[in-house]
Amino acid sequence: MSSYLINEPRYAFLKELGLSETNTGVYNGKWFANGETIKSMCPANNKPIASVTQGTVQDYDSCVEESLKAWELWADVPAPKRGEIVRQIGDSLRKYKEPLGNLISLEMGKILPEGLGEVQEFIDVCDYATGLSRMLEGKIFPSERPGHFLMEQWNPLGIVGIISAFNFPNAVFGWNNAISLACGNVTLWKGAPTTPLVSIATTKIIASVLEQNNLPGAICSMICGGGDIGHQMSIDKRVKLVSFTGSCAIGKKVNALVQERFGKVLLELGGNNAIIVMDDADLNLAIPAIFFAAVGTAGQRCTTARRLIVHENVYDEVVEKLTKAYSQLKIGDPLESTTIYGPLHNQQAVDLYLKAIQDAKKLGGTIHYGGKKIEEREGNFVEPTIVTGLAHDAEVVHRETFAPILYILKCKNLNEAIKWNNEVNEGLSSSLFSQNLSSLFKWVGPKGSDCGIVNLNIPTSGAEIGGAFGGEKHTGGGRESGSDSWKAYMRRSTCTINYSKALPLAQGIKFE
C-alpha cells in the first residue's frame, strides 16, 4: 500500500481538488513537467502527502512563450469583461473553499480556521478586483496651451511574475493575480517549493474558469520549482513586473537582478514587528491581541509580533497575564477543530528557532516560557516562547526569526517605545495599545511608527484587503491588495492631445 497521505480516507479532500499520488507541476494551458520529482511533506507528522514533478528552465520558457500569446488576446478584452472573469474565479474559490483550506492546513501547517481564512482572502480580493475593473482611473489636467487636452492613461504591463512564500501559499498569489488580471496583465506564478500542491490545486480551479470562457489557460500560468526558476524570472526582460514575497535576504537578490534590467519589482519581505503597551492601555484588549499576533500561525506570519514593548508600570501584570494565556494554548493537529497552534513548516524552521533560543540565553536573556522542541509529538512542533531580560538592541532581538518567539522589553515612556519600534531594519507592521488621544495621534504622525501598517488597539496581524498592504525599509516598500496598489501593475502615460490648428510650445517657448 502507498505511504502517501492522499490515499487515507481522512484526506479525501485532496482528490476533490483534482490531486493524485503523482502530480504534474507546470501549467501554461496544458499540464506538463520535465524536472525533478519531489515529495510534498506534511509538517504536522513529516509524512509525504503526494509527489510533484517540478518544471525546468526550459519548461519556464514554454510558459513565458504561451503567456506572451495569451496577453495579446487578454489585453484587448475590456476591463469590465476581465473583471467578470475574476468574479467567476472568486465564485469557483467559494465552491472549493473548504477542501482548499484543508489542503493549506495540511501542507503549510497553519490551523484550519487560518487555512479557510486564507482562501476567503483570495475570494475577497476577487470581489475587490471585480469592482476595480470598472474604476481604473486616470487624471485630466488643465493644459496651459490653448486647444490642447492633457490626461493620464494607464495600460497593462504584460506578464507579471509572482513568486510567493510558503506561509501564505494561496492568498498572496490571490492578491497579485486578481488585481493583475483586472489591470489586463497575464500572470506566471512560482509558488514556494514546499507547498506545490496548493499551487497546483489553486491553478486547477482558475484553469477551469478560463476553459469555460474559451480563454487561453496561459493567462494564468504556473510552474513549481526552486531557485533556478526564480532566478530566471528575475532576469527575464519579458517579465515586466516581478512580485516577490519572502525573506529580506532573497528579496535583496531578486531586487538587484530585476533592477539591473530596469524591470519593475514589488517586494513584500520581512517584518520584525513590535506591539507597544502603555500604562493606560485596556489590557482586556491588549492581551488577546498580543497572544494572537505572537503565536498565530506558530509565529510564521510576516506580521507576527516578535517584540513586545511594555511600559514599566504595567510590565509585571502584562507578563503574568500573557504567560497564563500561553499556558492554556491548545497545541495539536492543524486539521482538528480545537487546535489553535500547529507546527513549524519544516526542520529548517525548527533549527532557526532553537538557535535563536540558544543565542538569547548567551546574551543574558531568560526563557520565561517555552523554549524547547516538543519531542513527544510527531512533526515540527515547538513550544511558543517568551523571552525576557534582553536589551532592546540585542542582536537576537533585531534578528527576525520566523518562529513563535516573543521578546518582552520594558520601557519608560512612549518616546522610548517609538524609538525602539523604529530601530530595526524592517518596517512592516506595528501596534500601540493606549487610550490617550495624544499618544494615538503621535503614533500615526511623522514622529511615530515608521512602518507601512500602523495599528491602534488591534494586533499587528490580520490586515484587511481594502487597505494597501506592505512596509518600509528592508520590508521592501511594496504595496499589494487595496487602495491604489493597482498602479504597481500598470504603466502610466501622460498624454497631450492637440486638437487645434496651431502649435504653441510649453513654457511659452518660441522656436521659429
Q: What is the 3-state secondary structure (H, E, C) of 132-159?
A: HCCCCCCCEECCCCCCEEEEEEEEECCE
Model confidence pLDDT, tens digit, residues 115-171: 999 999 999 999 999 999 999 999 999 999 999 999 999 999 999 999 999 999 999
Q: Is 260 a catalytic residue?
A: no
Q: Which residues fall within 8 angstroms of residue 320, CB to CB, at 6 or more apart?
A: none
Active-site pick, 107, 118, 268, 400:
268
Model confidence pLDDT, tens digit, residues 179-207: 999 999 999 999 999 999 999 999 999 99
Give the chain's domains with CATH numbers.
Answer: 56-269+476-494 (3.40.605.10), 273-468 (3.40.309.10)
The amino acid sitting at 417 is: A
Q: Which residues fall within 8 angstroms of residue 369, CB to CB, at 6 or more apart?
A: 323, 326, 327, 383, 384, 385, 386
Do residues 216 and 210 lie in contact, with contact meaning Cβ atoms separated by under 8 Å? yes
Q: pLDDT at position 512, please?
A: 80
Per-residue pLDDT of the chain in tens (512 residues, 90 and over written 9) = 468 999 999 999 999 999 999 999 999 999 999 999 999 999 999 999 999 999 999 999 999 999 999 999 999 999 999 999 999 999 999 999 999 999 999 999 999 999 999 999 999 999 999 999 999 999 999 999 999 999 999 999 999 999 999 999 999 999 999 999 999 999 999 999 999 999 999 999 999 999 999 999 999 999 999 999 999 999 999 999 999 999 999 999 999 999 999 999 999 999 999 999 999 999 999 999 999 999 999 999 999 999 999 999 999 999 999 999 999 999 999 999 999 999 999 999 999 999 999 999 999 999 999 999 999 999 999 999 999 999 999 999 999 999 999 999 999 999 999 999 999 999 999 999 999 999 999 999 999 999 999 999 999 999 899 999 999 999 999 999 999 999 999 999 999 999 999 999 989 888 88
Q: Which residues fall within 8 angstroms of residue 356, CB to CB, at 6 or more apart?
A: 396, 399, 401, 403, 405
Model confidence pLDDT, tens digit, residues 299-315: 999 999 999 999 999 99
C-alpha cell at 313: 508600570
The four Cα atoms 55, 58, 61, 63 give a dihedral, to 10 degrees, of: -40
In angstroms, the Cα distances linking 53 to 20, 167, 395 are 12, 21, 40
Going by their DSSP bridges, the two strands 140-141 and 148-156 should be labelled as antiparallel
Q: pLDDT at position 1, please?
A: 47
Q: Report the alpha-carbon distance of residue 379 to residue 375 in Å, rounded.
A: 9
Do residues 198 and 191 lie in contact, with contact meaning Cβ atoms separated by under 8 Å? yes
